[in-house]
Structure 1
């Protein structure tokens, strides 16, 4: 036991990690790059967070749901689901929508341990999420606050990929429900981290199939096309 371990947590408001947690943190793999591997050869983790609200600077993560996508398939045997231990002073509208009971939050996993387990699960993945900038900011802040860890993994936004690859859908700007309806997916449960991650993963597989038919079979090309799509949309808005 390091007698000076507590020094690393001074001024952060978080309890110090134990020796085992610090070893696990050091063993986390480095973040990957968007490279030229075919999409089926890439390891994706589809992420959904339930939070106390939508303020990325103030609200906090309540639960994490994720599913692994590899070899053009969703690995249902290796899903990730965890409720973080929280003691909320007030129950926000967002908490009511998610349906997470105060007892579940009180009995959840300590935030640092939950986030460490999740990053061990994620490993060297590329993250996919619906409205990914929000999940990226919330996860990044939680990891920094609880573990002192800087998130560098690439994120792709399914909410942008969908209208880029399916412009005929005329859904943009739309939510996850609209794309579930457009693709006629059977998703009886919503507003739950694991269920939303699974829905996003099913949409992602549809998008990757369309991307391949368009000659976009790796993340580097897909990222470049997405960048051009964003620039075109900005130019279109400025011309109005």
Structure 2
């Protein structure tokens, strides 16, 4: 499970956000959903692999452009349940940035209004655990957008495969490395790198391998997976 850095305490200062009645009701419905029981078996839990695209890598200045997600249920990936949304941008990102993620200026200008896009993501994700590779960036960009556009202090629990994989497959890689290194080691093809859905599908396959290896080691619950990640972080500080 990812920890929330102390220097991000400013995220808790929720701005004044104006939502219409329907949007408020949708947000309240999500808030009323029960939290996931982290003592349950991870393989039989709905897990959401999440990836974002942003206008850059500056955590304070850059903006969330898109969210992609793929769900695992009972260990299987159902592409029909994938989620992707582009948030409408008042100012499109740079040409160099567009070359990386492929979301054109027109797509950014014509995207879904941010509050609506984020509500759609909340309705899709529910209170399911979120999984990412180097989760902190995704975590921060989504949380910042939720605070800015919905006035929501969004702090779900995440699992970070960048820490879990070297714990479970130490013979293949003992240290935190780039996502592409793990994809290459396991022969997983990503047909469109830096596309949110394509990255999610590739990462979801890594999650399948991680869940299988964890079960072999008797690590079956979400809480046990979180503890495995936490131990790796503690023993290998960045």
The reply to whether TM is greater than 0.5 is yes
Q: Shorter chain as normaliser: what TM range?
A: 0.7 to 0.9
Q: Deviation string for 1:77-101 (max 9, x for gaps)?
A: 1110111111326515333211111
Q: Say if 2:54 and 2:62, in contact at 8 Å, map to a contact too.
A: yes
Aligned positions, number: 224
- Where structure 1 has 5 or more consecutive residues not aligned to the other structure, the ranges are 1-10
Partner of 1:202: 205
Structure-2 change in CA distance of 1:80 and 1:90 (3 Å) = closer
Partner of 1:46: 49
Identify the match of residue 118 of structure 1 among 118, 121, 132: 121
**TM-score (norm: length of structure 1):** 0.87
Partner of 1:4: none
Partner of 1:140: 143
- Where structure 2 has 5 or more consecutive residues not aligned to the other structure, the ranges are 1-13
Partner of 1:109: 112
**TM-score (norm: length of structure 2):** 0.88
Q: How far does residue 185 in structure 1 lie from its aligned partner after superposition?
A: 0.9
User: Which has the greater radius of gyration?
Assistant: 1
CA RMSD after TM alignment: 1.9
Q: In the aligned structure 1, how far is the partner of 2:34 from the partner of 2:176?
A: 30
Q: Say if 1:32 and 1:153, in contact at 8 Å, map to a contact too.
A: no
Q: In the aligned structure 1, how far is the partner of 2:124 from the partner of 2:134?
A: 21
Partner of 1:97: 100
Q: Say if 2:70 and 2:83, in contact at 8 Å, map to a contact too.
A: yes
